[in-house]
Structures are given as structure tokens and as C-alpha cells.
Structure 1
């Protein structure tokens, strides 16, 4: 690299030439994912015009030149072009290798990601790609000599470049307008792959919405929620909040590998048809605890009003949120007691950056042995199956499926290795859930405490299907692997006559994160004006309801 720098110094270009060369590079190299997907869409049509297909990169090139020309003046030209190339090279790698698109949701997820999670994406492939596609072209931009004319000469040259690009743009629009309108209308996701303009647009929207809008006044949805269940026995519900688990890899849901060999023996009930609110933690977690539903969810509104945790706490329950997820609770637990698992190596479950989810069992056990309220809700936030470093989510003793993928550049593993690694994370999650149930069962038997456990994941994960990895795609075109999530239910009351059959019947219903608010309030016996009985599939499975139904059936039989 040292030898090529003097060569760069001998190159003299006008500002227009540097803008054109940079835009050519961005269009034809760094936008390969966009061009590839666009070509696939167009060539899949029953009939298409070859000239229309050829016009696509030239349309993008013209747009790029117009945008970059507005900022190409004197000393700001090179810094801005270098920034564009460096950021575009990162997007290029992420999109090409993982299928990631940087829409608003991904920007939100990126901003709210902690350093340990961010560094998990760095590997030799990523570094090499960044150096080759980002740093090397940036050195060229930095070292070439720009020739300048007078101010008006530069202004006139830029106007000519913009005018020429606008002319090309108009010509393409006039000739192929109907074709672009049709393809764009039926494939709105294509715009999400435009590098770096989708990122710029999404970032601007995120900044405007989160930093420029005034904060909303906090809204109290219910001032007097109350627990209505008679306090004959203490009650404990543990909600285990999973991370990046997809339902189709649960043997409880019919998967052909024994990923649920622990809970399968513990009379759990799996809800097979559950969809998430989003495809990333930053959306799904606050959404599932919010009174808002997926259709009207808005982060600012959700953050400025009571959620299910707040209402349960206000009703008089003791609430504890324990996190082994390096990301925060996304604001959900801000007003209740929280405990974050320390990742230092003093804990045998931790390696300094991450902890295995078994680390959640110690604070759970401590809480269960020192109950202070009649009703207690404990939320255990797992790190679960978070990628791409799936292999760091389970200890060697739980490495069931081999060979697995012991690296973070998962696109370079075989499909079998990748799936085995992911399935190991699911099997380990299942092991931890079985330990949670063991703790609750012991509590019920020894202390006559009513207990239940709910496990649900925030979103799913893609494992290379159709070339897509990880998660975070816009919900409108996200694959089912990212939106179909597991929901597992266990309760000591399932051993009561009739209740297990009732829950099994409703477990086949189509539900979503929208139901969690009401399921939680029902499980904690909280009476609130925010509760919507029709939104709670477990409502009909209350013991009192089952007894009433049985009594009605007996009365009917007697009458006959």
C-alpha cells in the first residue's frame, strides 16, 4: 500500500472527475446487492425490456452524481466522499454477506447496540472487506491532486455536471417511467438496498424523531390497578424473555431434532402460531409490553406511557427484571427494580464479555427464597440465540449437535454447521427453562406457592435461507424465520383437572406479541381498565371458568 500512494499523488483530477469516478465506484461496485436484486426482479417478469434493465445502473449513477455534486466544493469534497465510501463499504459487506438492510428499524437497533454486541460482527472477512473496498479507495481519494479554477468556474462546472445528470435522469424517466413505476410499486423493498442513500434517509428520520421532536408527557393509563385474586397462597410468575429464537427450530413445534428434550418431559405447552411485533429487539421488546399493538406501535408513544410491567407493579406486585442481555430492556423496566448480570470472569458462567444464561438461575433462586409480597413477577431477559457468535451462547457440555460453526463470519460455514450451532443455542435455552421450572416446582411443593412460567422470544432469525442471515429486515418483507417466534407456557395449575386440555386447545390459535400485555395481567390476576379480555387466549382457561363449564355440562346432562 505504501508503494501505491506516490502513484496516487501523481494523478490530477478536476472535482467533477473525482465525483464521477467515486459515483461510478459506488454504483457499480458498492451497490452490487441492489443491482443484483433489481436484475432478479426485472428478469423474473414475463416480459421485460432489455434497455430498461440496462438503464437501472445509469439511473442510479445519475442520482448519485446529482447528490454528491451539491457537496463537492473545495476542502469539503474529499472528506465527504471518503466518508461516503467508508460507510458504503461497511453496508456493502453487511448486505452482501448477511442480507441486512439499513432501514429505520436497523438504525434504531444499531444505535441501541452495546459495544460487545457490535464487536461480535468483526472478523477477518469483515476487516479485509473494509480495507479493500473502503480504505483503499479512500486513500486514492485522499491522495489525488484536485485542480481548481475560479469560484465561478467551479460553480459553472458543477452546474454542467448536475444538468447533464438531470438530463440523463429525465430521458430515462420519460422512456421507462411506466416500467419503473410498476417495478417500484410491487417491490418497495428494493429501495432499502440503495447504498448509502437508504442509510442516509433512515438516519435522518431517526435523528429527527428521537432528538428533534419534543419529549411527550408521560401518560398514566390506569391509576388504580389492583390484584383481585384472594391472597390464600402466594403467587410467582417467571417470564423468560428469549432472544433471537425462531419457532421452527423447536422440537415442541415439530422440528425433527431434539432441541427441547428437557422441557418436553415437564408438561409444558407450546403455542405454535405466534408472530412477533418486530424483527429486532429494539422494536419487539417495548412493543410486546406496550398497550399499543403492532399496527399502531410508536416508540415515542410507548416510552411515554405505562406498560404491562408498570401496571402490574402499581397493582401491588413485587417486580424484578434480571438481564443477561447486553442490550438494555429498551425502557420497559425503567420504573421497577432491575438487576444486570455482571460479565466479569469471577463468575464461572461468564467470559468477560458474555455470560451463559445459566447465570440467571442464581438471582432467580435468591429471589424465590426471599419472597416479600403475595404476588411476584420475575422477568429473566436471556441472551439466548443472539448471533452471529452463536457458539458463545452455550457451554461445551451443552454442545449437542456437531459439527458446529465456531466463528462469527457465519456465511463461511456450511449450512449444516450453522444450523447445528443455532440448534445448540435452542437446546441450551431449553435446558435453562427446565431449570427454571424445577425451581418453581420445588417452590410450589414445599411452600404451597402458585407458580407459572412464560417463555417467549423477541424475534426470530434467518440462517442463510434465500441468502439472508441474522435478523432486522423490514417487517413488510421479512421472512417467516424472523417473525415466527416460540411461546412456551408452564404452570403448576396445569395439573388441575381440565386446565391443561383447555390451554392445549387455545395453543393452536394464531396469536402475537400483541397478546402478551393481557396474558401477563391475567397471569398476575391484575384488574385494570387497560385489560382487554378478548385479547387474552388464556382467559377461558381460568380454573373458575373450567369449573363453571363443567357444572353447566353436568346440569345439561342431568336435565336430559
Structure 2
């Protein structure tokens, strides 16, 4: 049976209808922002702020659709894509508390199909088909008339009025309006999603032929290279400080590290981002978090160690599809990503790197999957100590079951770190471990990570951070070991990794900041962090 075609009087009315639906998709965010305004200034402010939000959002949605009006097919396709993106983005904002910042744009661009599959289930896809099937069919049967401009004087006048209103407000108070628009853009769908992805594409395009500044030449390694220590950096994933046994968690999730000599744990550590796409390049940069921006413009920690004569290696179980991370990885002579299996598969290549012939000291970066969702997929069955464990996406499980699976994943992190340390015990070595960011597990009904850093809950920003030194390292450099131990109560962050790794290796450069080098002889309190 053939469905009859549906006619729309004008393309303008079609655009207005779609823009209205895209605006209503954000009803929950609009209500939440109006509620905040009411708390700050009462009902009058809430009404005014809500009206401005509604008007601005509707105008932007219209602006997103207008360029596609030149073609009926293009307009229908673009409308459908925006409706799907808007619904999905609004769900992500409500489920994960994310904001569509530039950092989120890099995370979206760097997401691969495997990560998407981990967060979706058959019922999710079935729901999507049921939700978007009818609109797709409806759009397919719509017949849009030819585009004409004469009948649309009222629409153009309305658009002009909106421009005048916002133009006047902008001229009256540029800073406040800019900040308001930026905040609104980051939380509304799909405009925030489109804006973030376009911003990332623009930055990548402008930086495509710009070479990184080679800061490695400013670093020197005094003394013979064979006297330099082995340096291992283990990058964790989605592991938060709140569930790390060394930090005083009620459960002992780090029993092996708890009895390991040479471990200094820093309980007050924070991440420079809540997304892997930004956090990993940030922690490998000499810049502090508030200075750092993608794409990276300088040689990373990896390139500096390679230039110092270290035999540099990068091994990762993460899927290598993020350009900024791959760019840092490529600075190492050995760069291997997407190793299959649990994090323990990193041990054999580590052993091979340590056993390689030659006098050059070793620098090894191990990029793990840590406690990334889905939690039960991050550890072998033998580590399922806390039960019942969630064996699905975290938000689909009982919260305690999700926490149990998360704690099991940290038990496995503890095991892997201890196995890495065991391979370094008889060497002159230092190991630094820090997670890229934390994770929300149902607190405030949030799951996952990637919230805007300024608004992110502590579960996403507080991370485990530790430094381990071997007995030989402590004997050869007792002052370094003493300084690390003396600062265990200091605030630290990703900012410290670059400077501490090079400082503890004995490297010298005017670019090493003593206040961020845990091995440096810094004044008391200089390591307070941000």
C-alpha cells in the first residue's frame, strides 16, 4: 500500500515547525536554567531568563535550518539529522551531565564505533528505531513547495527583530552576553553539538600545516646516559580517587599497592579535563591545565625523553583514533596502540622494552583502560570479588551493582600496577601513575564523565595519583625520594607529571618548573597546585 504524500504550505512553516521541536527537545535544560534563575532572583528573573533562553534557542535552531531551504531533499535530510542529533544530545546531557565544550567536541570527534557499542544495547537501538522511524517516514512523504521569498515578509521581520534585540543587548553588555551565549550553547542540543564539532574542525584545519614547536632541544641530561633512571608512566582511565583503597576508601581496592615499598600516594590530585581526548595530551604537556589547548603546539613529554637519548616506548590497549594522542605516541620510536585484551597485555611489551640491548635508559608509557565503562569488561572473572556485579551499561544496573563492578575494576588496576612495579624492582626506576579523569556512578543521577570542567562533580575531577621509586633509585637519590615522600599531603594535578618525570630523571631545563617537580627542592607549600 502506498502512503499518500503530505503537503506543507511553505518551506518557512516547515522550518518553524522543526525549529520548535528542536527547541522543545531541550525542555528539561530550559526548566533547570529557569529554576536556577528563580533561586538567584525570584520568579521575575526566572520568567525573563526563560524567555530569553527560549527565544535565543528558537532563533538559533531556525538559523541552523535556513541554509538547507534551497533544496527540498536537503532540507528534509538535514531536519531529520538535527532531530536525531538533538534527541541523542539532549539524552546525553540529562544522563551524563555533559556540556558541549570544545573539549567535548574533541572527545566526540575521537570516539570510535567500539566505544559507542559499549554504551548501547539492543533495547536502546530498538527504542531509537521506534522513536525516529515514524518521523523519518513522515519526512519522506512530505512534499515541500518551491522556495519563494515574497510571502515571507513577516518571518523576515521577526528574524530582523531578534537580531536587533540580541544586537542591542550585545552592544550594551558584550562580556555578559557573550558569556551567557557561550554557556547556553554548551548545554542546548543540537546547537551545542554542532558548535563543538565545527569548532574542532576549524581548529584542526588551521593547525594542519603548523609544525609543533620543538622544545626538546632546551633539555639536557647531565652525566652518562646509562646513569639515568628508567621512567615508566602509567596512564589510568576513568579511575576516581573516591574508590581507591590507598586514599582511605572503605573497601580495600588496592591491597597489593598498600603493602608495596616505595609507593607514595597523593590523595589530593585533580585532572585537567574530564575527557581522555584532552586529559592525556594535557598531562604530557609542560603547560598547566589552564594554559593548555588542543591541538598541542609543542613537543610532548614523550618527545623530550626521546630527544634526551632515552629509548622511548608507548604501548596502549586504547583504540588509537585520537589525533592529539596519536601525535604524542608518534614521538616515540615504538608506538603500538589497540593491543587486544585486558590491561595485563601491556606487561610482555614492557618486559621486552626493559630487556632490549643497549645502554640507553628506558622511558615507557603504558596507556590502560583502567575502570572505563563498561566496568565488568575491564577485568578477568577472577577479580569479581565484590558482588553482585553489574554486567551491563552502568546506568541500566542497580547502583550498588555498578559500584561493585567498578571496585572490581580498581582491584584489577591494583594488580596490573603491582605487576609493572615487580618488573622494575631490580632496576634504578621511577613510576608515575595517574588516571586521566574520574567517573560518576549515579551521584546526582549522573553516569560517566565529560562534564564541563568548571561544573564537573568531584567524582569526575579527583583522580588517584602515585609515585613509586625502586630501592636502587632511593639509594642513589635519597634527596629526591625524601622530597617525594615529604609532599604526599600536597595538592597535585596533571600539571605535575611532565615536570616530575623529567625532574626525577635528572633532566635540566629552564622549562622545568620547580613548583611542579615533586623531586625538586621547592619551598614549602609551592606544590599547592591549582
Please give the TM-score of this superposition, normalised by the length of structure 1.
Answer: 0.82
Task: Give the deviation of 1:118 after TM superposition.
Answer: 3.0
Task: Give the deviation of 1:125 after TM superposition.
Answer: 4.7
How far apart are the structure 2 equivalents of 1:54 and 1:540? 54
How far apart are the structure 2 equivalents of 1:398 and 1:27? 46
Classify 1:202/1:59 alpha carbon distance in 2 versus 1 (closer, same or farther; 3 Å): closer
Alignment partner, residue 439 of structure 1 = 423
Please give the TM-score of this superposition, normalised by the length of structure 2.
Answer: 0.87
519-528 vs 127-136, greater mean Cα deviation = 127-136
Pick one of 70, 74, 78 that aligns with 2:76: 78
Alignment partner, residue 408 of structure 2 = 424
Pick one of 128, 142, 145 that aligns with 1:144: 142
1:16 has 2:12 as partner = yes
Aligned 8 A contact 2:312 2:362 in 1: yes
Aligned 8 A contact 1:227 1:525 in 2: yes
Alignment partner, residue 533 of structure 1 = 514
Query: Equivalent residue of 1:248, what SS?
Result: helix
Aligned 8 A contact 1:289 1:516 in 2: yes
How far apart are the structure 2 equivalents of 1:54 and 1:426? 43
Classify 1:332/1:384 alpha carbon distance in 2 versus 1 (closer, same or farther; 3 Å): same
1:210 has 2:207 as partner = no
Alignment partner, residue 407 of structure 1 = 392
Aligned 8 A contact 2:225 2:309 in 1: no
Alignment partner, residue 106 of structure 2 = 108
1:38 has 2:33 as partner = yes
Query: Equivalent residue of 1:540, what SS?
Result: coil
How far apart are the structure 1 equivalents of 2:384 and 2:208? 49
Classify 1:68/1:231 alpha carbon distance in 2 versus 1 (closer, same or farther; 3 Å): closer
1:475 has 2:453 as partner = yes
- Paired residues in the alignment total 511
Classify 1:509/1:103 alpha carbon distance in 2 versus 1 (closer, same or farther; 3 Å): same
Alignment partner, residue 320 of structure 1 = 313
Aligned 8 A contact 1:233 1:374 in 2: no
Aligned 8 A contact 1:103 1:474 in 2: yes
Alignment partner, residue 276 of structure 1 = 271
- Over residues 264-291 of structure 1, what are the superposed CA-to-partner deviations in whole Å (9 max), with x where a residue is unaligned? 0103111112222222122111122122
Aligned 8 A contact 1:506 1:538 in 2: no
Alignment partner, residue 47 of structure 1 = 42
Q: Unaligned regions of 5+ residues in structure 2, if any?
A: 523-530
How far apart are the structure 2 equivalents of 1:215 and 1:26? 37
Aligned 8 A contact 1:100 1:469 in 2: no
How far apart are the structure 2 equivalents of 1:374 and 1:147? 73
- Over residues 486-527 of structure 1, what are the superposed CA-to-partner deviations in whole Å (9 max), with x where a residue is unaligned? 111111247657876542321211222122111111222223
How far apart are the structure 2 equivalents of 1:357 and 1:138? 42
**Residue pairs, 1:467-506, within 5 angstroms:** 467-493=445-471, 496=475, 502-506=483-487
Task: Give the deviation of 1:261 after TM superposition.
Answer: 1.0
Alignment partner, residue 254 of structure 1 = 248
Alignment partner, residue 130 of structure 1 = 128
**Residue pairs, 1:207-356, within 5 angstroms:** 207-213=201-207, 215-223=209-217, 225-229=219-223, 235-267=229-261, 268-300=263-295, 302-303=296-297, 305-327=298-320, 329-340=325-336, 343=339, 350=340, 355-356=341-342
Q: Unaligned regions of 5+ residues in structure 1, if any?
A: 344-349, 542-560
Aligned 8 A contact 2:255 2:414 in 1: yes
Task: Give the deviation of 1:533 after TM superposition.
Answer: 2.7
Classify 1:17/1:317 alpha carbon distance in 2 versus 1 (closer, same or farther; 3 Å): same
Alpha carbon RMSD of aligned pairs, Å? 3.2
